[in-house]
Chain A
Amino acid sequence: MRSDRLSASNTQVDTQGACRYALRLKDVSKTFGNRHAVDHMDFDLPRGAFLSIFGPNGAGKTTLLRMLSTLSRPSAGSIELLGIDIKEHPDQARRHIGFISHQSMLYGDLSAEENLMIAARLYGVVHPEQRVADMLDAVELSHRRLDLARTFSRGMTQRLSIARALINDPDIVFLDEPYSGLDPHAVEVFDELIASVRADRTFVMVSHDLDKGLAACTHALVMARGRRVYFSSREDLDRDSFSDLYRRTVGMGVS
């Protein structure tokens, strides 16, 4: 993969350079009616870290990710992203965010190039044509740039989705179950691509794949019933006891 094209060197968004933490959560909760989807979540994540979030279905992982990425507002507590309070200044925070999901966020009836061009223009990339060409080149889709996104295979769609997420050269990238629906080869390509853009960026990934999540991470968070069950850096993590904890947590279910 052409990592040079995707490298994190955006001087425009590097306004929070002094901030040590990519994310700081203080007593964050999200409630839907009487149900606590996320319950009093606290943690600090240093810049450049890779956080993997594990937990059973309904543990609140995706809800947490949506709050961190400004897609959903916390019911209580505060979230700082690179020192920016995302409740107070969501648009300022959004400039630093990229989001890759199992959903592509691409318009199937528009071409690969058109999809990226829309994103580039909305973010205000100064030379959008050049940036789009670079990104298509980086994810090796230049030869399909005029083809409609709906004609792409799942793996190609995921690559285009990565290009879209990185069009604004974000400092923090959120990954919501990115391996969902990918075949082994596409998983391999996806891993290579993520490794190539790793650089100084911070990553937060929700995954059900324990092996993949642990291999990539510098920090791990386990959630159950909306609460933090475990949070640690990779160095302090003992694989056997972590696997045991994970199995017990998954066994706890949702409620």
Chain B
Amino acid sequence: MAIEIQTPSTWQQYRTLLGKDLRREFRTREMLTSMGMYALLVLVVYGAALSQTSHSFDILQMSGGLLWAVIIFTSLLGLNRSFAHEKENGCLDGLLLVPLDRSVIFLAKATSNFLFMIVVELITVPLFAFFFLSTSPADTWPLIITPLLIGTVGIAGIGTLLSTITVNTRGKDVLLAVLFIPLIFPLLYACVSATTVALVGGDVEAIYMNALLLAGGYDVVMLLLSWVLYDFVVSA
């Protein structure tokens, strides 16, 4: 029985790979559960750490930093897992044997990581606001959505590249954090600035916009770099 093969489009291959990751995750809920639980535990620790502060202490001033600390540590947990299941049973080799552009693997994996992080943020951010923003944030608070989106895109992109690099190493959990946090620092700094200004208020136009430009520019450069380097990284 003859079979017919037509080179699939990049879009078709991307959809197949992304669909595979989503289907697998929604069946096992492995990453979402572990990331969600971890985020909740960090919030509990925050609660304990901040329970003895005086009433005059304005938590709003540091809320941007605290929120991003939860997001960074939670995403590290998810990123560590994202390639681990590709290594089980040699599945990554199975993908590399297929005639497909390696950057498609990167894009699909980065997209699934982004989506999982967004789901966790949708739970974490309201909880964070409920428990820790006792004083009312500024009217500009809805503006935190943009730095959250830009930051999550960057974390998912760079994190996917780094988790591919570290997946074969012995101390991959530690190594990912050691590489990831210094590399992500400019993005983190910009996102914390933009989030804090949006929550506290003040010179939103100058600080917020500059921070977003820095974060957006960082995302574009790093994502393009990750895309270009991915073939080399995944085949090494």
A contact set with B: CB distance below 8 Å: 4-5, 7, 9-13, 69-73, 90-92, 94-95, 97, 99, 101, 103-110, 114, 118-119, 121-127, 131, 134, 164, 168-169
Question: A110 to B99, Cβ gap below 8 A?
Answer: no
Choose from B8, B13, B89 the contact partner of A103 (Cβ within 8 Å): B89
Question: A94 to B23, Cβ gap below 8 A?
Answer: no
The distance in angstroms between the C-alpha atoms of A90 and B98, with both chains bound, is 10
Choose from A4, A13, A71 the contact partner of B96 (Cβ within 8 Å): A71
A-B contact list, 6 entries, CB within 8 Å? A9-B1, A105-B89, A106-B91, A106-B94, A110-B23, A169-B5
The distance in angstroms between the C-alpha atoms of A105 and B95, with both chains bound, is 9
Bin chain B's interface residue count: 20 to 34
- Which chain B positions have C-beta within 8 A of A169? 3, 5
- Which chain A positions have C-beta within 8 A of B24? 107, 109-110
- Majority DSSP secondary structure for residues of A touching B: loop
B contact set with A: CB distance below 8 Å: 1-8, 12-13, 16-17, 20, 23-24, 27-28, 85, 88-91, 93-100, 235
Residue of A nearest to B27 (CB): A109
- Which chain A positions have C-beta within 8 A of B6? 124, 126
Question: A103 to B90, Cβ gap below 8 A?
Answer: yes
Question: A122 to B100, Cβ gap below 8 A?
Answer: yes
- Which chain B positions have C-beta within 8 A of A97? 97
Residue of A nearest to B7 (CB): A124
The distance in angstroms between the C-alpha atoms of A1 and B235, with both chains bound, is 36
Choose from B1, B4, B23, B235 the contact partner of A5 (Cβ within 8 Å): B1
Known pairs A10-B3, A12-B3; A105 contacts B23 (CB<8 A) = no
Residue of B nearest to A150 (CB): B89
Question: B28 to A131, Cβ gap below 8 A?
Answer: no
The distance in angstroms between the C-alpha atoms of A126 and B1, with both chains bound, is 13
Question: B1 to A107, Cβ gap below 8 A?
Answer: no
Residue of B nearest to A106 (CB): B89
Known pairs A70-B97, A94-B97, A110-B23; A125 contacts B4 (CB<8 A) = yes
- Which chain A positions have C-beta within 8 A of B88? 108
Question: B89 to A108, Cβ gap below 8 A?
Answer: yes
Choose from B1, B13, B93 the contact partner of A134 (Cβ within 8 Å): B1
Most chain A CB within a 10 A radius of its CB, from B3, B85, B94, B95: B3
- Which chain B positions have C-beta within 8 A of A105? 89-91, 93-94
Choose from A7, A73, A107, A124 the contact partner of B5 (Cβ within 8 Å): A124
Question: B96 to A122, Cβ gap below 8 A?
Answer: no
Question: B5 to A125, Cβ gap below 8 A?
Answer: yes
The distance in angstroms between the C-alpha atoms of A164 and B13, with both chains bound, is 17
Residue of A nearest to B87 (CB): A103
- Which chain B positions have C-beta within 8 A of A114? 20, 23
Question: A101 to B93, Cβ gap below 8 A?
Answer: yes
Question: B1 to A95, Cβ gap below 8 A?
Answer: no
Choose from B17, B27, B98, B99 the contact partner of A92 (Cβ within 8 Å): B99
Question: B99 to A94, Cβ gap below 8 A?
Answer: yes
Question: B1 to A110, Cβ gap below 8 A?
Answer: no
The distance in angstroms between the C-alpha atoms of A64 and B24, with both chains bound, is 33
- Which chain A positions have C-beta within 8 A of B3? 10, 12, 125-126, 131, 168-169
Closest-CB distance, B100 to chain A (whole angstroms) = 6
Question: B5 to A13, Cβ gap below 8 A?
Answer: yes
- Which chain A positions have C-beta within 8 A of B17? 118, 122
The distance in angstroms between the C-alpha atoms of A110 and B98, with both chains bound, is 19
- Which chain B positions have C-beta within 8 A of A103? 89-90, 93
The distance in angstroms between the C-alpha atoms of A4 and B2, with both chains bound, is 10
Residue of A nearest to B98 (CB): A122
Known pairs A12-B3, A107-B24; A124 contacts B8 (CB<8 A) = yes
The distance in angstroms between the C-alpha atoms of A104 and B92, with both chains bound, is 11
Residue of B nearest to A110 (CB): B24
The distance in angstroms between the C-alpha atoms of A12 and B6, with both chains bound, is 8
Question: A10 to B2, Cβ gap below 8 A?
Answer: yes
Closest-CB distance, A91 to chain B (whole angstroms) = 4
- Which chain B positions have C-beta within 8 A of A11? 2
Residue of A nearest to B90 (CB): A103
In the A-B complex, list the 10 residue pairs whose CB atoms are closest, starting with the nearest.
A103-B90, A105-B94, A124-B8, A91-B99, A126-B4, A94-B99, A121-B16, A12-B5, A122-B98, A104-B89
- Which chain A positions have C-beta within 8 A of B95? 122
Extra inter-chain contacts (17) besides given A122-B98, A123-B5, CB under 8 Å: A4-B1, A5-B1, A7-B1, A12-B5, A90-B99, A99-B94, A99-B97, A103-B89, A105-B90, A106-B89, A109-B28, A110-B20, A119-B94, A121-B13, A124-B5, A125-B3, A126-B4
